[in-house]
Chains A and B, each alone.
Chain A
């Protein structure tokens, strides 16, 4: 009874989300709805007594796979909706063939598992505990297919890594290397940023160039606009020995 209540609440929600996944415009919304479908599937698994499968479904699919999906989608663009132009030629027929092939595979798999076989029943299957029963099957009867699938997955992962990999010709520069490079590149701008204008404690207007440690004015401290307009004063007039110290300072 509780199972059918759950089914009639979650089932329609899952179907609506699955349809929405195909119909919404933004890729992120679509990914989210897919995540929701996966979570509802996990609910169904748990309600059917496949506790381990349900939890793993959430950890692996919702937690890791969908999250990576979302990650990539977000990198692609914040508000970009899907463009419907085909970037790879013949993508549509390939996709349709793959979908039909996958569907056929699923139907044949489910058919092989259900048609002409008596179900053992949950009680017997979970006799030694759900996790233990699953582990026993995976590592005894089905150990070869299990290993083949894992080898396939590893091959795919290595393939992706090979495709994305590129050989570094020079070692990656560290933070220290970069810092040294900036200082030794010969430009003040990259070393420590451009200096601010003004002669410290004498005149700090924007049109007075700052003085470098050796006493020469630093033109880089004046903004480009003022420089090209010629609105630049000589900072030498604000040097200590240029100012008449006899004049009493204003109070």
Chain B
């Protein structure tokens, strides 16, 4: 039985239990994620990180959460009150919704009922995730606008521009997955990766998705919406107490969400890595959940690693990268994938495929050389020499040089 058929037999209470499990898992994962991020970043910066509350500081985020909830809840006088309250609610509710279509396990038995740990399996599951994500942006934008203050407004505008642009790149990177698996349902895509993970087959798509998921979640090095150096805290500057906690929760649940989607689409979902397929029947199928969460945790580590390594990008460079690099590259890649798919479906010979790939490689190399030449030319144009400034300038070691 396919996932969709298994899910269709679920009675109401099983759906309710699954919903509760999704919620609880996400909240617990958020607590763990905050702790893990602080510990990992600390290790990368050669300091211990939180280590006081609980063993290894594990309860630190719990106590932080309690502290946040007990703080005074401020609403600025200039704020648009209703929207100011609605905004964090939109953020925090939409981020959970994406998990409804993510298959976490293969067939398992839950309270004596055979099912899969996936709330619903719709034929357009991946599009549904994109739709929910696009509604989630409203939370950020409205928070920025309703605060009635300049920095949040700028942060909100930045993030909406950013998320819209990177959502385009993200959507385009998913197209080749749809073309290859012939479906937009998450469980079908996982099933189609039985032999080869799409991270291998469609490597460029995987890279584009990985970049745009960082942009989509407003995380370093793309966290321009809350660039503390220039915007204080960005869209959530005016928020405090539980409302701020909701944004915090939404950010981490979103990270887990895009990681879970990446796992499902590119890393074979809940399936075991190649060669370890025998583990999938352990614990009555529940062991597949462990593989799923291991892969999600790997993505989360990538997020933290990026944050610990890369400096924040400048805003215009970031937008330029999205529109002038990611989107054209993914469009080109879709053309290549679609042509390859058509050629192989029409039973073209191996030589035909080789000729086609040769042409593609030639085009890429030509574009690369042309790009390099243009860059070199720009670099070689002489800079205009200007007269010496008339304010006092210390002597430079090399005499006679007029460069400052």
Contact = CB atoms under 8 A, between A and B. Distances in A.
Interface of A: 26, 28-29, 32, 35, 39, 42, 51-52, 55-56, 58-59, 62-64, 67-68, 70-71, 74-75, 78-79, 129-131, 175, 180, 183-188, 191, 212-214, 216
A45 to B, nearest CB: 12
B134 A70 contact: no
A51 B314 CA distance: 40
Contacts of B383: 180
B184 A67 contact: no
Given A131-B184, A214-B392, A70 B124 contact: no
A71 B131 CA distance: 18
B157 interface: yes
Say what secondary structure dominates the interface of chain B: helix
B83 A32 contact: yes
15 contacts: A26-B80, A28-B80, A28-B83, A39-B135, A55-B128, A59-B131, A62-B131, A63-B133, A63-B137, A67-B160, A71-B160, A131-B123, A186-B391, A191-B389, A191-B391
A59 B142 contact: no
B386 interface: yes
Instruction: Indicate the member of A35, A59, A70, A184 with the most B CB atoms within 10 Å.
Output: A59
B141 A70 contact: yes
B141 A74 contact: yes
B238 to A, nearest CB: 13
A184 to B, nearest CB: 4
A102 B171 CA distance: 32
Q: Which of B133, B164, B171 has the most CB of A within 10 A?
A: B164
A195 to B, nearest CB: 10
B393 A75 contact: no
B308 interface: no
The listed residue with most A CB atoms (<10 A of its CB), out of B78, B160, B161, B392, is B392
A28 B156 CA distance: 14
Contacts of B273: none
Interface residues of B, number: 41
A62 B135 contact: yes
A202 to B, nearest CB: 19
Contacts of A32: 83, 138, 142
A35 B142 CA distance: 12
A74 B127 contact: no
| Those 3 A-B pairs whose CB atoms lie nearest each other, nearest first | A63-B134, A58-B131, A212-B392
A82 to B, nearest CB: 15
B157 A74 contact: yes
B123 A78 contact: no
Contacts of A186: 389-391
A67 B390 CA distance: 51
Interface of B: 78, 80, 83, 122-124, 127-128, 130-135, 137-138, 141-142, 144-145, 148, 153, 156-157, 160-161, 164, 167, 171, 184, 314, 383, 386-387, 389-394, 404
A78 B135 CA distance: 21
B210 to A, nearest CB: 21
Contacts of B142: 32
B135 A74 contact: no
Contacts of A131: 123-124, 184
A58 B389 contact: no
A188 B391 contact: yes
A198 to B, nearest CB: 17
A63 B135 contact: yes
B124 A51 contact: yes
B201 to A, nearest CB: 22
Contact of B393 (A74, A78, A185, A213): A213
Nearest to A183: B404
A236 to B, nearest CB: 15
Given A58-B134, A186-B389, A186-B390, A67 B124 contact: no
Given A74-B156, A213-B393, A79 B134 contact: no
B153 A78 contact: yes
Contacts of A35: 138
A55 B164 contact: no
A213 B395 CA distance: 9
Nearest to B383: A180
B123 A51 contact: yes
A128 B83 CA distance: 43
A241 to B, nearest CB: 20
Given A32-B83, A67-B141, A188-B391, A58 B135 contact: yes
A29 B80 CA distance: 10
